[in-house]
Structure 1
């Protein structure tokens, strides 16, 4: 068990190293725009290519992971994610920039399903807690990305980006050296035991799981819309609407993201006691008043409110992954890719709707409208299967 925990911490560290590269792009993109003389449309296409390679493609890596043991994707994904961003800093033209960013996204997409699947098999009965340990690395990495980007820009600019390969390369070597031991730790599940169990399920149970999975995907998309909306409109509200200090807005956003990372850890533990569905319900219910209070709160209480919001919203990160994996017991890699890649990645689509509201009615109205998002998510979550009840029944048997 202690060895399994060590492996979980190592996978979480790899998750951090991989997702730092996703957090770099929003800071580097304005620099790329100036250096290469890009239009806003061309710069937006760079972000789109990153989204496609890191999120949309991710379920395909999950499908591959389920078809065959591909643990080598763990160190390879970590290294490629950093290599792509390192090459992007030296890109001589637009095509090279897009190709480099796309390559980095492929590394992100390769790492998540296989590493999440491995974390799933390393867990004991406390699956949400184990998944939270793995997930918090990614949330921290994304939150620290802007900090790393600022440090690189202050120590050589974009040309310093190859420095990213040094820690990623060392960690990838460590991950590679642990693959044999990791393979022995998860040998049973990888031999097809869960696939065999799935094949014996009645067709009615499979249909029920499929419907529940589709519903869960919609709920995760809704949660991601809210997270993307708050992440983007906190700066808009204080910089563009209130004409505030950008550094103050940056501090607010950092508090929100770091509190979310802490919420990931705590949320997993709570979900193992309450059940994943109950955890999601409570989180979404609390987000409604938090969102409504945000424009009416100031001073130190604003930091408290944002910390509470980030903690509450992101606390459902691990429980949603565990629910998906439980609904697809023979396709854990695919379940991970669908939740961590496709469903979470589509959160950016909701920004288009929120942006339309902001253009028509103003930023405060756009913020107030976001309260409808968790309310809708709460209503849909009521129809998810009660995993806490099912677990109690299985323990009683």
Structure 2
């Protein structure tokens, strides 16, 4: 197949100027899946480490804190740097750090070494995500929402594998099972070398927007800083609630219904898998109906399911997790594209802020949630966290994009 060498347009140029490069979108989505599958090793090990190292819930939260703070807080800095100096070589280098983290998790003899290894996995993620989002943006053509959905659904699918990893790998193999995930890192490095070649070609042909070139936005906003802060807070609420489900809901089910470790993984897997489906459809829905409307629906629409979840039987937990996971994650990719409209031309920085810093704030939440569970119990924790999606009502304070304005005026 002949390589497409036509330069892609900078943000805001005519949609017809650039085609959507599907092979690159699928490649970067595959690597996102592999990267986040390795990230998922960290929470997948929680039940194993909780028993083998006699950890309390606060310590479980600390593992999440060290991992997420490394992977998240560094992302805006990496994105800011690569906005000014795009660096294709960082993609495979970041994956090498994740590979080192996998080896460290497999052989860590103590809680302190687990924290250190988790930080290496986080470092690889911090390098990959801003540049991966940039590659998806460059390959998108006119279909920005769709492209981010393809990219993000890879990551969500990788994250959804955590419960299966616990049940199928770490329960029988224990902590050393993490060593098998170095194979995923090797495959990701191979794919990224090829993606980096295409990335360098786009730099050589002028596809990346030059510094200072103004891009056109679909959103008219007077106070960008306020809008970004509000958007980060909304993503923060979503990530706190997702953290409660992915990190502590399994312990809640084990305590309330006296289930084994392997038995509760299907519930968390269902929530995460539904999230991957919601992420996939969220981007195309935003392209059609508007980003603002999808962001509002994703949190407010998930709120009733979240409020009911801690009080239902195991039978009703299945459909609730399925519906809530899909709805809640429908804005996962949309918030990134929305933020890129707020700050045109700063793809890496925006990706770092929305998928990085906001989730870093969620990591603080993981520690707070763990401490809360130690003091007040898991049942109270899940009940309190169930109101977090209601913070999606803050979306009414965000400026609407053009498609949302048109849809609202027609309603």
Return the TM-score normalized by structure 2. 0.82
Say whether 1:4 aligns with 2:37: no
Say whether 1:264 aligns with 2:279: yes
**Segment drifting more, 236-245 vs 26-35:** 26-35
2:347: which partner in 1?
Answer: 332
Distance 1:268-1:365 versus aligned 2 partners, 3 A rule: same
**Segment drifting more, 81-90 vs 353-362:** 353-362
Q: Which has the higher helix share?
A: 1
After superposition, residues 183-202 of structure 1 pair within 5 angstroms as: 183-185=200-202, 187-192=205-210, 195-197=212-214
1:175: which partner in 2?
Answer: 192
Distance 1:361-1:104 versus aligned 2 partners, 3 A rule: closer
Distance 1:166-1:359 versus aligned 2 partners, 3 A rule: closer
Q: CA offsets per residue over residues 134-153 of structure 1, 9 Å max, x none?
A: 00111111111343455544
Distance 1:72-1:155 versus aligned 2 partners, 3 A rule: farther
Kept in 1: contact 2:167–2:265 (CA 8 A): no
1:215: which partner in 2?
Answer: 230
Alpha-carbon distance between aligned partners in 2 of 1:13 and 1:166, rounded to the nearest angstrom: 14
1:77: which partner in 2?
Answer: 94
Say whether 1:386 aligns with 2:400: yes
Kept in 1: contact 2:19–2:142 (CA 8 A): no
Alpha-carbon distance between aligned partners in 1 of 2:50 and 2:241, rounded to the nearest angstrom: 28
User: Per chain length, whose mean CA-contact separation is higher, i.e. which structure has more relative contact order (CA < 8 Å, sep 6+)?
Assistant: 2
Alpha-carbon distance between aligned partners in 1 of 2:53 and 2:374, rounded to the nearest angstrom: 30
Alpha-carbon distance between aligned partners in 2 of 1:361 and 1:99, rounded to the nearest angstrom: 29
**Segment drifting more, 368-377 vs 334-343:** 368-377
2:6: which partner in 1?
Answer: none
**3-state SS of paired residue (1:69):** coil
- CA-based RMSD: 3.2
Structure 1 residue runs of 5 or longer lacking an equivalent are: none
Alpha-carbon distance between aligned partners in 2 of 1:38 and 1:359, rounded to the nearest angstrom: 11
Q: CA deviation at 1:289?
A: 1.3
Structure 2 residue runs of 5 or longer lacking an equivalent are: 1-17
After superposition, residues 8-23 of structure 1 pair within 5 angstroms as: 8-23=25-40
2:266: which partner in 1?
Answer: 251
1:26: which partner in 2?
Answer: 43
Kept in 2: contact 1:18–1:77 (CA 8 A): no
Distance 1:50-1:126 versus aligned 2 partners, 3 A rule: same
Alpha-carbon distance between aligned partners in 1 of 2:114 and 2:309, rounded to the nearest angstrom: 38
Kept in 2: contact 1:79–1:165 (CA 8 A): no
Q: CA deviation at 1:179?
A: 2.0
1:227: which partner in 2?
Answer: 242
Say whether 1:133 aligns with 2:147: no
